[in-house]
Amino acid sequence: MDTRHAPPDRFSTSAERLHEIVAQELGSDDFGPADYRAGLEMLLHSMDYDPCFTPGGRERAWSQVIGVLRSRAAAYRAMRENPGFADAPIVSPVVITGMPRTGTTALHQLMAFDERFQGLQTWLLEAPRPRPPRETWDRFPEFHRTAAWLDRRHADAPVKKTAHAMAAEAVDECCLLLWQGFVSNLWTVGWSAASYDAWWQGQSEAPSYAHYRKCVQLIGSSAPERRWLLKNPGHIARLDLLLAVFPDARVIVMHRDPARAIPSLVSLLMGAHAIMETGRREQRGAIMIRRETAKWAEAMVRAEEIRARHPAQVLDVVQHDLHRDPMAVITRIYAFIGMDLPEPVAAAMRQHGSGRHGRSAAEHGYDIADYGINEQAVREAFGDYVERFGLVGGQR
């Protein structure tokens, strides 16, 4: 992210300055529908109240808000410059979701070997536009800016590279479009944001999903015939909104023992907190694991209610099965989405899978006891979910 602009003394009074910075950088003051303003202003108030930023963390947080607002403005500038983008169809996209740390990334990377799919490359999430030809990406300053940002991110928090590697040219998560609406759980995890979190839980993300659909159309408008492969754990909490914007989607839901997935997630998030905040580490970790447990347990309950109305559109995959026999899982998925699996694609997937043999999504170190809670307490929050999918034991 761009760090040339010093953070303000008070974030809560800096909304207009924020817009001026972005408008000057882009030469455009079109930020799209104003439905994002309430979330942005709540976020800025929270940044004054909730976190104990380090000086460097304060700069990074301000730079991140600038960057996301810049991405939103860049998207609407590109939409204005490409008025036919909304004619691009999105036919039966394949969407991977599930709680975080359940193998969604591993499956996404595996299926991305099939070049018949198109996906959301990280640099295009930062600067949405019709996807240009691959051989031209190196000519775009936005591509290099994203690559430089990721280099800084991985240097600051190496656990992020171990647990969730990203690259400018690689496909990434839909959440990096959704948070441009400023009503997103992604704003609750980078630093302490309890007041924003409390506000967010009572909000609709429908405007964010409307923005997300437009951005997917925009990015894919240069190749409308290619089927979409999308991935975002957060969709599991908003299946109703996902199916509202993509009514014929085929949704793959990943499952893992939450007593393994949730502490893995918290370990990842706390690794980032180390460069953003000072003090209260033990307290922040204990609060975070309880918050994430409650959040994702509720998400799974809501998902069951929605999927019951769309049984033919949802396929369940247990993470352990993906690790044990990835090609058996892939065969089942391709039957579900109605696509053949050419042998060259299958061979590339097998080679990738063999290179990952023995690895798990939890290979970065963590211990649930570090957060003052035990596995039983996490599992109990999920009711019969663990038993229903047979998730206890082994790598599950």
Query: Percent of the chain scored above 70 by pLDDT?
Result: 92
Tell me the CATH number at 104. Answer: 3.40.50.300
> How many CB atoms lie under 10 A from the CB of residue 343?
7
Does the pLDDT at position 154 exceed 80?
no
Phi first, then psi, for residue 194 (nearest 5°) are -60, -40
Start-end of H helices in the chain: 15-26, 37-49, 55-81, 104-111, 122-126, 141-156, 158-163, 175-178, 194-200, 206-220, 239-245, 258-276, 281-307, 319-324, 326-337, 343-355, 375-381, 385-388
Within-domain flag for 153: yes
Instruction: Band the pLDDT of 163: cuts 50, 70, 90.
Output: very low
Within-domain flag for 165: yes
Within-domain flag for 118: yes
User: What's the rounded mean pLDDT across residues 110-131?
Assistant: 96
What pTM was estimated for this model as a whole?
Answer: 0.92
Does the pLDDT at position 395 exceed 90?
no
User: What's the rounded mean pLDDT across residues 246-252?
Assistant: 98
Within-domain flag for 5: no
- Higher model confidence: residue 170 or residue 181? 181
Structural domain including 129 reads 89-174+198-388
Does the pLDDT at position 112 exceed 90?
yes
Within-domain flag for 372: yes
User: What's the rounded mean pLDDT across residues 64-75?
Assistant: 97
Does the pLDDT at position 106 exceed 50?
yes
Number of domains within the chain: 1
Q: Which of these ranges, 38-52, 159-173, 246-260, 291-305, has the smallest mean pLDDT?
A: 159-173
User: What's the rounded mean pLDDT across residues 355-377?
Assistant: 71
